[in-house]
């Protein structure tokens, strides 16, 4: 039997709310780590030097080619065998962050490659060094292209972060499971958890909309941009459904 | 102007034996060029003859496979004598490139910056000029190319001719020793060609050193001190406009000119 009273009771349970906050913190932390690894790996993959390209390609290949769950378990329960002992939180952040970085590297790389070659050349021609060309000219333009898929990646990460429950990190899903074990209101409690995830991803999609509008401000008056935004909105709706 | 007088002037660009391959394709087969201060050199010739590639080796956007290019006496991409490395670092080459302004066929304005920001970008980011100073100079340059009222516009809001004039202002903002123009009017609608050529003509009259790759024969006749005819990776013929256009010695130059003038 479905019990409304229990559902409404658990929906403001501080225990689960804290779990949701931990999930959010874990996702933000892993995203930041992923962005650092992603930017570095993307830059390395676009280098002219083979010895920079190869390790970055290897990283992307490895972390995109194996399940996150397996990576998390290896980091938490496998690495101690090599004398690398990481706490639960550190393991989850590193595991999720490294995995995310591999995907973000590809997103960032495709964004940079979408910036017309003439923009690089014009920057080089006025005497900008390669790093400055990237920072001042290429990345701000790539950002406009990157933000929609980057936002989708973060949306995905907030849900993937639930895998950290497997290595006993007490985030939302783990706390839900623990609560169910003593309270037996399985459907009510899991639906509360699902509701929290839904709130997180919904709030994020609103923020993402603002970010997209901000990054597109230089072309905001353009008709083509409106079309691009519409396409992006449709894409993200399709992707997240 | 006699050779002796010419030689006394300062040499700004000196290219010697420049070769360039793209894969199997031997695009430049030993090109030499000396450009003196204040001189306007126009390079004409059929498409695929290596004109643009040669221009791009002058600031090493394309590095020559052999040969060298000197700007104000310093060889591009080569470390000064006595240093450990033979080739100059990215930062070193970038420093040298500041002296060479370039204007592209496709304008290549930074699309996320306004016209004013485009012009200020080089001085602020590369020369570390204070923003206030760079802004005054950028406004002066935009006025010079007739676009004082467009400083807040983004490239997408400007016509092709306007974009190209902003691009010229952007290159001038670095106060380069020489300006390179790579077919600056080829991507423009016909009614906009004139406004860009006028800016270039003004520049040449103010004594700017310029190397221009173009199909605009009338511009070449009016502005050039010297015209080079380039084909199949070599400079086939060169001379003052009235010599080269009035009485070309080489038959291929003659054929090319007849074709271009016939169309005009």
Tally of helices (H runs) and strands (E runs) in chain A: 11, 0
> Is there a contact between B112 and A141 if contact means CB atoms under 8 Å apart?
yes
Residues 6+ apart with CB under 8 A from A26: A89, A92, A93, A96, A161, A164, A169, A171
> Is there a contact between B97 and A123 if contact means CB atoms under 8 Å apart?
no
> Is there a contact between A129 and B94 if contact means CB atoms under 8 Å apart?
yes
Which of A127, A141, A218 is the closest to B94 by Cβ?
A127
Cα–Cα dist B131/B144, whole Å? 20
> What pLDDT, on a 0 to 100 scale, did the predictor assign at position B170?
97
Q: Are strands B74-75 and B66-71 parallel, antiparallel or unpaired?
A: antiparallel
Share of chain A above pLDDT 70, in %: 90
Q: How confident is the model at residue A216 (pLDDT cuts 50, 70, 90)?
A: confident
Q: Is A71 helix (H, G, I), strand (E, B) or coil?
A: helix
Q: Are strands B40-44 and B210-213 parallel, antiparallel or unpaired?
A: parallel
> What pLDDT, on a 0 to 100 scale, did the predictor assign at position A223?
43
> What pLDDT, on a 0 to 100 scale, did the predictor assign at position A231?
61
Express each pLDDT in B99-155 by its tens digit: 999 999 999 999 999 999 999 999 999 999 999 999 999 999 999 999 999 999 999
Query: What are the tokens at A72?
Result: 């998390």
> Is there a contact between B95 and A127 if contact means CB atoms under 8 Å apart?
yes
Express each pLDDT in A21-43 by its tens digit: 999 999 999 999 999 999 999 99
Tally C-beta pairs within 8 A across A and B: 77
Cα–Cα dist B4/B217, whole Å? 28
> What pLDDT, on a 0 to 100 scale, did the predictor assign at position B9?
81
> What pLDDT, on a 0 to 100 scale, did the predictor assign at position B214?
93
Which of A127, A136, A221 is the closest to B97 by Cβ?
A127
Give which of B33, B29, B48, B66 is closest to B180, Cα–Cα: B33
Share of chain B above pLDDT 70, in %: 94
B125 contacts in A (CB within 8 Å)? Answer: 128, 132, 136
> What pLDDT, on a 0 to 100 scale, did the predictor assign at position B249?
86
> Is there a contact between B122 and A222 if contact means CB atoms under 8 Å apart?
no
Most confident of A2-6, A157-161, A231-235: A157-161
B183 contacts in A (CB within 8 Å)? Answer: none
> What pLDDT, on a 0 to 100 scale, did the predictor assign at position B260?
82
Query: What are the tokens at B197?
Result: 């050529």
A129 contacts in B (CB within 8 Å)? Answer: 90-91, 94
- What is the enclosing helix (H) or strand (E) of B218? helix B217-223
C-beta separation of B34 from B11 below 8 A:
yes
C-beta separation of B40 from B181 below 8 A:
no
Residue with the two structure tokens 């940079």: A112
B1 has a pLDDT exceeding 70: no
A56 has a pLDDT exceeding 50: yes
Task: Determine which of B122, B125, B158 to mutate to test the interface with A (most A C-beta atoms within 10 Å).
Answer: B125
C-beta separation of A235 from A197 below 8 A:
no
Q: How confident is the model at residue A63 (pLDDT cuts 50, 70, 90)?
A: very high
Give which of B125, B119, B122 is closest to B158, Cα–Cα: B119
ipTM here: 0.90
Express each pLDDT in B220-237 by its tens digit: 999 999 999 999 999 999
How far is A136 from chain B, CA to nearest CA, in Å? 8
Cα–Cα dist B11/A241, whole Å? 66
Q: Give the mean pLDDT of chain A.
A: 90
Express each pLDDT in B47-67 by its tens digit: 889 999 999 999 999 999 999
B2 has a pLDDT exceeding 50: no
C-beta separation of B253 from B229 below 8 A:
yes
Helix pair angle (A139-160, A186-215), 10° resolution:
180
Cα–Cα dist B114/B125, whole Å? 15
Q: Which residues pair with B68 in a beta bridge?
A: B16
Query: What are the tokens at B189?
Result: 């609608």
What distances in angstroms separate CA A10 from CA A163, A182, B23, one per listed residue? Answer: 22, 13, 68
């Amino acid at each position: 039997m479905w019990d409304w009273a229990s559902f409404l009771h658990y929906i403001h349970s501080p225990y689960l709310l804290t779990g949701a906050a931990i999930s959010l913190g874990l996702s933000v932390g892993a995203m930041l780590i992923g962005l650092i690894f992603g930017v570095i790996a993307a830059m390395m993959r676009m280098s002219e030097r083979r010895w920079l390209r190869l390790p970055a390609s290897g990283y992307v290949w490895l972390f995109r080619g194996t399940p996150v769950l397996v990576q998390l378990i290896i980091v938490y329960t496998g690495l101690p065998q090599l004398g690398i002992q990481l706490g639960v939180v550190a393991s989850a952040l590193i595991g999720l962050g490294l995995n995310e970085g591999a995907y973000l590297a590809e997103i960032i790389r495709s964004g940079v490659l979408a910036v017309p070659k003439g923009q690089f050349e014009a920057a080089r021609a006025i005497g900008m060094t390669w790093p400055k060309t990237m920072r001042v000219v290429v990345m701000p333009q790539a950002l406009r292209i990157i933000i929609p898929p980057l936002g989708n990646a973060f949306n995905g990460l907030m849900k993937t972060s639930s895998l950290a429950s497997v290595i006993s990190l007490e985030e939302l899903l783990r706390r839900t499971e623990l609560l169910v074990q003593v309270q037996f209101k399985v459907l009510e409690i899991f639906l509360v958890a699902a509701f929290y995830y839904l709130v997180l991803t919904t709030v994020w999609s609103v923020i993402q909309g603002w970010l997209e509008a901000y990054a597109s401000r230089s072309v905001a008056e353009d008709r083509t941009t409106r079309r691009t935004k519409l396409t992006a909105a449709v894409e993200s709706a399709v992707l997240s459904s | 102007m006699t050779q002796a007088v010419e030689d006394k002037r300062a040499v700004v660009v000196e290219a010697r034996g420049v070769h360039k391959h793209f894969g199997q394709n031997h695009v430049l087969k030993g090109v030499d060029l000396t450009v003196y201060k204040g001189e306007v050199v126009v390079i004409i010739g059929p498409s695929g003859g290596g004109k643009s590639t040669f221009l791009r080796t002058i600031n090493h956007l394309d590095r020559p496979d052999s040969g060298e290019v000197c700007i104000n006496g310093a060889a591009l991409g080569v470390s000064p004598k006595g240093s450990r490395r033979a080739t100059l670092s990215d930062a070193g080459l970038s420093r040298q490139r500041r002296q060479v302004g370039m204007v592209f066929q496709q304008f290549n304005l930074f699309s996320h910056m306004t016209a004013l920001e485009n012009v200020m970008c080089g001085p602020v980011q590369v020369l570390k000029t204070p923003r206030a100073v760079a802004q005054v100079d950028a406004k002066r340059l935009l006025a010079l190319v007739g676009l004082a009222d467009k400083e807040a516009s983004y490239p997408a809001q400007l016509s092709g001719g306007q974009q190209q004039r902003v691009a010229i202002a952007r290159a001038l903002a670095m106060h380069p020793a020489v300006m390179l123009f790579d077919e600056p009017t080829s991507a423009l609608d016909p009614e906009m060609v004139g406004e860009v050529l006028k800016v270039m003509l003004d520049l040449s009259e103010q004594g700017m050193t310029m190397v221009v790759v173009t199909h605009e024969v009338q511009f070449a006749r009016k502005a050039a001190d010297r015209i080079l005819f380039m084909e199949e990776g070599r400079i086939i013929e060169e001379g003052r406009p009235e010599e080269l256009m009035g009485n070309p010695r080489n038959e291929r130059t003659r054929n090319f000119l007849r074709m271009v003038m016939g169309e005009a």
